[in-house]
Amino acid sequence: MSDAPRPPKPLADLLDEFRLLDRDERVEYLIEYAHEFESVPERIATRPYSEDHHVKRCQSDVFVWAETSGEDAQKYHFAVENPQGISAQAFCAILDKTASGARLADVAGIPGDIVFDIFGRDISMGKGEGLVGIVTAVTEFAKGALAERATA
């Protein structure tokens, strides 16, 4: 079995589903995911959140944390401070569901362009940039954990 990075299986499966959806179905799915969003628990972080966890250029004012979850995984936590940030809430719920618990190498290899696979190519530049920032924050946590393991 190869150790080459690949998208976490739950994420790959979800991307396959999204590729089959038309625009209206995609919107319905994303709204459902937004309703599943759970903000970071207080045992991980409390307001005011540290700027170290703030996603830059995200219109929805998102913060991301990673918690060690087993030997080769992390649990990702998110705060979306803009109550109108439905897209960010949906995307954070998707990443929590599909990347939390996955192999660190697989999470580290998630490409930023999955934003367009999930939201479509007609997403605004500003919103797209913020959502890519969320993916980048998650992958950076995974890369950091892999680097720590390599030097330990």
pLDDT 10s digits, 67-125: 999 889 999 999 999 999 999 999 999 999 999 999 999 999 999 999 999 999 889 99
For the chain, give every domain's residue range.
9-151
Owner of token pair 């830059």: 56
pLDDT 10s digits, 34-59: 999 999 999 999 999 999 999 998 99
Among candidate residues 32, 35, 36, 93, the one with its CA nearest the CA of residue 62:
93
Distances (CA, A) of 149 to 45, 64, 80, 111, 146: 24, 21, 30, 22, 5
Q: Where are the alpha helices (DSSP H) in 1-152?
A: 9-19, 23-36, 86-99, 104-108, 114-119, 125-151
Query: For the whole model, what pTM was predicted?
Result: 0.94
Six token digits for residue 151? 């030097």
Judge whether 109 and 5 are in contact, CB under 8 Å. Answer: yes
Instruction: Name the CATH architecture for the domain at 9-151.
Output: Alpha-Beta Complex (3.90)
pLDDT at 36: 98
Instruction: Kindly report the number of other CB atoms within 10 A of residue 105's CB atom.
Output: 16
Task: Give the separation between CA 68 and CA 111, rounded to whole angstroms.
Answer: 22
